[in-house]
Amino acid sequence: MNMQQAMSSYFSQYASASGRARRSEYWWSTLAIGICIVVLEALAMGVSSAFGILLAILALATLLPGIAVGIRRLHDTDRSGWWLVFGIVPVVGGITLLVFMCLDGTPGSNRYGPSPKGVQGFGTGYYGQQPAQG
C-alpha cells in the first residue's frame, strides 16, 4: 500500500473502527498527516498566524480518522482498541503502543475479521496468491 492508497483508505473509513488496518495504511497516513502538521506549524510561526487556523482545522478533521485507524491497527494485531487509552500513561504507554503498531498483524482471520493482506494461512502467498510452483 502506498501513501495515496493509505490516505484514501484513511478518509474513506473516516470513523469506522471495525476491521483491520495494515501497518502500511497506519504508518503512511500517520506520516502524511504529520508532515502536514509540521508544515502548517512552521507557516503559522513564520509567515502568518492564519495558518494556525488551518492547523486547528486539520487537527479536528483528522481526529476521528486517526483514532479509527489506530483502533483498526490494534485489531490487526488481535488487540482491543481500548489499548489506545493506555497511551495516556507517561512513557510506558507511548512505548507500548509504538511496539504494538510496529508488530505484524496476525496471519489469516482473527476475531476482528480477515487479514487485510489476504493471507489465509499456510499454503498461500501474500495477497491471497498461490506460491509459484517450481
In a domain, 130, yes or no: no
In a domain, 129, yes or no: no
In a domain, 134, yes or no: no
Q: Give the gyration radius of the chain's Cα atoms.
A: 17
Q: How many domains does the chain contain in total?
A: 1
- Structural domain boundaries, residue 39: 3-111
Q: Does position 4 have pLDDT exceeding 70, yes or no? A: yes
- The closest alpha carbon to 67, from 57, 55, 59, belongs to 59
- What percent of the chain has a predicted confidence (pLDDT) above 90? 58
In a domain, 116, yes or no: no
For residue 106, CA distances in Å to 83, 87, 117 come to: 17, 22, 10
- What percent of the chain has a predicted confidence (pLDDT) above 70? 88
In a domain, 119, yes or no: no
pLDDT category of residue 102 using cuts at 50, 70 and 90: very high
Q: How many CA atoms lie within 13 A of 61 on its CB side?
A: 12
CA 42 to chain centre: 24
SS3 110: strand
What pLDDT does 48 receive? 83
Give the tens place of pLDDT for each residue, 11-28: 888 888 888 999 999 999
- The closest alpha carbon to 114, from 17, 6, 25, 20, belongs to 20
Give the tens place of pLDDT for each residue, 56-101: 999 999 999 999 999 999 999 999 999 999 999 999 999 999 999 9
Cell (9 digits) for 70: 489506530
Comparing 8-12, 77-81, 105-109, 120-124, the range with the smallest average pLDDT is 120-124
In a domain, 58, yes or no: yes
Q: Does position 103 have pLDDT exceeding 80, yes or no? A: yes
In a domain, 131, yes or no: no
What pLDDT does 73 receive? 94
**Is 112 within 8 Å of 75 (Cβ atoms)?**
yes
